[in-house]
Amino acid sequence: MDLSSPVLAMTLVEKVIARAAGREAVRPGEIVTAKVDFAFAHDSSGPRRWRPYLEQLGVGIWDPSKVALVSDHYVPAVDAESAAILSDARAFAREYGVGAFFDMIGICHLVLPEHGLIRPGDFIAGGDSHTPMAGAFGTYAAGYGATDMAAIVATGETWLSVPQTVRVEWSGAFQVGVVAKDIMLFLCRELGLDNAFAAIEYGGAAVDAMSMPERMVLANMAAELGFETGVVAPDQITFDYLAARGHPVDDEAVAMALESDPACTYRAVHHFDATTLVPQIARPHAPDNVIAADVLSDVVIDQAYIGACVGAKLSDLRMAAEVLQGRKVAPSVRLLIAPASSATTEQAAREGILTTLLEAGAILLPSGCGACAGMGAGLLAAGEVCISSTNRNFRGRMGHKDARVYLGSPYSVAAAAVAGRIVDPRPMLAQPGIAT
């Protein structure tokens, strides 16, 4: 195949779709049927919705070895209703022989890569809108509703219109205190939230230098921008992450070849410089209502929340600990931390990060989607103000419709917890607190 030919040159996303559709090449706008390599869902979107449909159709799961379930929404059960939802998920996993069932050990989007189940080049369907997080590994990973997912686990395939790809290049290197989350909040303002039926691809020196957890932030919040998937081309950092978890890629050269061809066609290419980016905050009630953190110092907060797939990985807890080392959470603020997985909590304990967070006055919550999904501990009352490391701040998402939620990086959330108001975290990072 001549990859320099514009006839066959494709973007990464187009290559993954073409293979899954059994085609040599695909073009944006073509309607194709793709064979799904890996499908997953959680306790809220999965079993309780799939079971009646599968019974109606009289079929089981097309290939249980390619399906994973993760309980993360209603965990741990706080009442009889959530207990019943979890009980049903466990029974379903047994009865249908689901290949991988992860019960209460963290949020699906992090637990799956931790277990080496996100493989470069795969076509992935997930029953959750933040499924694009898996695109950090060079996959096509899109979110689907429960009926679509039931059809996918029944048949192993789904239809799609091949999306155009938008490429975003970040040159330069970040200032201390500026991270992938700031990039994504900035992009929400620059590109808006209305980018449906297109894909986003990230590249450039600042992305090449990022760890996998930071690339996961870029891919995760492709969902906020409205893109159906967000991808980073696999490289040595990708391979090292998977190898370290005991699941090395089969063929690195094949994975490297997923990179978009030089002659491919993008819908648009945007260039930004990481060097000049400053900490960003999204104001209520939308992720694109974004402004620099340093102009919001009149915003007094009641709660600071570090949680969710996007914002409570080990790297995020490390950021919070950097700020909180030798400092105390303001007396008027409650700082809640819900690590994204049990493995995150375990490693944070080993590194002494948990001690730092708890000494500063943080309150540790169970791993799960928690308050970010409006389900777990940490919901807000009318009139309360929260700064959160999560990805969405729609009205009513984290509790009462008249609560106000600001979004920021874990640095910004931790710094606000100390100051009692929203601040630029960089001065605190430049002048570390006194170790106690």
Partner 1 sequence: MTGTPKYGRAFVFGDNIDTDILAPGSLMKLSPEALATHCLEAIDPSFAGAVRSGDLLVAGTNFGLGSSREQAAVSLKILGIKAVLATSFARIFWRNAINLGLPALVFPQAREIASGDQLALDTASGRIENLTRSRSYEIQPLPDHLLQMIADGGLIAHLQRRFQGTAA
Using CB under 8 A, list all residues that contact partner 1.
31, 44-45, 49, 53, 56-59, 74, 79, 81-82, 85, 127-129, 131, 142-148, 150-151, 154-155, 159, 193-194, 196-197, 226, 228, 286, 373-375, 379, 392, 394-397, 399, 401
CB of 225 to partner 1, least distance (A): 10
Q: 409: left (phi > 0), else alpha (psi -120 to 50), else beta?
A: beta
Interhelix angle 212-220/236-244, nearest 10 degrees: 110
- 338-368 b/e with 16+ CB inside 10 Å = b? bbbbbbbbebbeeeebbebbeebbbeebebb
The rounded distance, in Å, linking the Cα atoms of 280 and 275 is 14
Residue at 94: amino acid letter: R
Handedness of CA 327, 328, 333, 337 (dihedral sign): positive
The rounded distance, in Å, linking the Cα atoms of 35 and 432 is 52
The rounded distance, in Å, linking the Cα atoms of 160 and 169 is 26
CB of 397 to partner 1, least distance (A): 5
Residue 330 corresponds to which tokens in the numbers above? 């303001």
CB-nearer residue toward partner 1: 56 or 236: 56
CB of 163 to partner 1, least distance (A): 9
The rounded distance, in Å, linking the Cα atoms of 248 and 239 is 6
What is the DSSP track for 79-99? SHHHHHHHHHHHHHHHHTT-S
Of the candidates 98, 108, 113, the residue with the CA atom closest to the CA atom of residue 67: 98
Of the candidates 23, 36, 38, the residue with the CA atom closest to the CA atom of residue 115: 38
> Please, where are the H alpha helices in 351-409?
353-359
Residue 371's Cβ-side half-sphere holds a number of Cα atoms within 13 Å equal to 29
Contact 26, 158 (CB under 8 A): no
CB-nearer residue toward partner 1: 43 or 261: 43
The rounded distance, in Å, linking the Cα atoms of 23 and 403 is 49
Contact 95, 186 (CB under 8 A): no
The rounded distance, in Å, linking the Cα atoms of 321 and 324 is 5
CB-nearer residue toward partner 1: 257 or 291: 291
